[in-house]
């Protein structure tokens, strides 16, 4: 009797075993150890290439962080932003949020090329974007976090999704919050992730209306400090100079810290989408004040919100593919 019970128990365990073994492969979740056996050097390789790029041009950190954000808000974190136009597929690179501003693609290409030599067809472009975003934050003085991994790459792009889903500099607070909520993010994530504007640049065309014609009646935005506005007008005329660059955080433009929020309290946020965090919603205004007062609280929440954003609709298991070239789906490569 005891032997037959043992045999039945063994059978039941064997029957259950395949489900257990499949979970990580097909269960659709991400975890930091995903490449520990298949490509253990992946993160170090990515980090070293990014460090060289940052040494040449510190601005690249903000550019790579932005790429991850613009990727995740369109069809999820699936590297669709990296695809060039091909056949009937139109690239997201030509969308309003990305045209003449999305950059850093060459660094992603370099990381991908190195990883293809180290462990071919293993590390996805989507995961490279997530790793590069974390490393860009760290190298600029910001927080670190374990990046959940295991994303796969999309088989297409969405120009309309890029045009419609990514918050624009001149959107109202409510529109921006709605776009975040559609991605499963909340007001805390909105304010914390906006803090990424502590590094990087913006073009004159992205905030010109605040200087000259905020509401269409030829009057500037008076929630912008007028002395600061006067300085900005020197290099951002009412016409022309569209591509002229300005620091998003004029106090510490290449250091990842909470000075961005302090600038908002002084009414010196560069973009309309920055300043409305203080002026248009009480809950977000309280968060701005909290992060301005305590850098550690901001950095901790930023890391949490980045992990949350990186989990937007990833392709896992057998969905999507592992591109060999981040700019092309494998069928076209």
Gap between the Cα atoms of 168 and 148, Å rounded: 28
Q: What are phi and psi of 310, to 5 degrees?
A: -65, -10
What single-letter DSSP state applies at residue 149? Answer: B
Q: Is 122 annotated as a binding residue?
A: no
- Rg of the chain over Cα atoms, rounded to whole angstroms, equals 22
Give the integer Cα–Cα distance in Å for 159 and 89. 9
The answer to whether the annotation marks 198 as part of a ligand binding site is: yes
Q: Is 161 annotated as a binding residue?
A: no
- Annotated binding residue 167: yes
**Cα separation of 238 and 248, whole Å?**
19
Question: Would the annotation count 197 as a binding residue?
Answer: yes
Helices assigned H by DSSP within 166-294:
173-181, 187-194, 208-212, 226-235, 259-265, 272-279, 282-293
State yes or no: is 68 an active-site residue. Answer: no
184: left (phi over 0), alpha (psi -120 to 50) or beta: left
How far lies 208's CA from each of 92, 136, 202, 240, in Å? Answer: 24, 28, 11, 10
Q: Say if residues 246 and 269 touch (Cβ distance below 8 Å).
A: no
Is residue 76 annotated as involved in ligand binding? yes
Check the annotation: does 80 bind a ligand: yes
Q: Quick one: which of 191, 164, 184 has its CA closest to 175?
A: 164
**90: β partners:** none
Nearest to 310 by CA among 90, 68, 18: 68
Query: Do 310 and 130 meet the contact criterion of CB atoms below 8 Å apart?
Result: yes
Query: Is 71 flagged in the annotation as binding?
Result: yes
Given 68, 70, 75, 93, the catalytic residue: 70
Annotated binding-site residues for substrate read 167
Annotated binding-site residues read 71, 74, 76, 78, 80, 92, 167, 197-198, 249, 257
Instruction: Point out the residues that are catalytic.
Output: 70
Annotated binding-site residues for Ca(2+) read 71, 74, 76, 78, 80, 92, 198, 249, 257
Annotated binding-site residues for heme b read 197
């Amino acid at each position: 009797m005891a032997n037959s019970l043992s045999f039945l128990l063994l059978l039941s365990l064997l029957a259950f075993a395949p489900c257990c073994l499949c979970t990580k492969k097909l269960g659709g979740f991400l975890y930091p150890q995903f490449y520990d056996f298949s490509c253990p050097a992946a993160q170090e390789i990515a980090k070293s290439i990014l460090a060289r790029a940052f040494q040449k041009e510190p601005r690249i950190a903000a550019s790579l962080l932005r790429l991850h954000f613009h990727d995740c808000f369109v069809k999820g974190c699936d590297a669709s932003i990296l695809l060039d136009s091909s056949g009937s597929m139109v690239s997201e690179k030509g969308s309003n949020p990305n045209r003449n501003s999305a950059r850093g693609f060459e660094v992603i290409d370099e990381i991908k090329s190195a990883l293809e030599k180290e462990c071919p067809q293993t590390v996805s472009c989507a995961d490279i974007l997530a790793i590069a975003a974390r490393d860009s934050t760290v190298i600029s003085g910001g927080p670190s976090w374990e990046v959940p991994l295991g994303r796969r790459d999309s088989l297409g792009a969405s120009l309309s999704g890029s045009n419609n889903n990514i918050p624009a500099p001149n959107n109202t607070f409510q529109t921006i919050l709605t776009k975040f909520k559609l991605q499963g993010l909340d007001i805390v994530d909105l304010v914390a992730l906006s803090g990424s504007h502590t590094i990087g640049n913006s073009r004159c065309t992205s905030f010109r209306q605040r200087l000259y014609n905020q509401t269409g009646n030829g009057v500037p935005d008076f929630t912008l400090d007028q002395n600061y506005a006067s300085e900005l007008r020197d290099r951002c005329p009412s016409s022309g100079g569209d591509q002229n660059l300005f620091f998003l955080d004029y106090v510490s433009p290449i250091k990842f810290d909470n000075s961005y929020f302090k600038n908002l309290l002084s009414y010196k946020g560069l973009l309309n989408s920055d300043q409305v965090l203080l002026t248009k919603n009480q809950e977000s205004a309280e968060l701005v004040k909290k992060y301005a007062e305590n850098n550690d609280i901001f950095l901790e929440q930023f890391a949490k919100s980045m992990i949350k954003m990186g989990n937007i609709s990833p392709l896992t298991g057998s969905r999507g593919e592992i591109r060999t070239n981040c700019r092309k789906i494998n069928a076209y490569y």
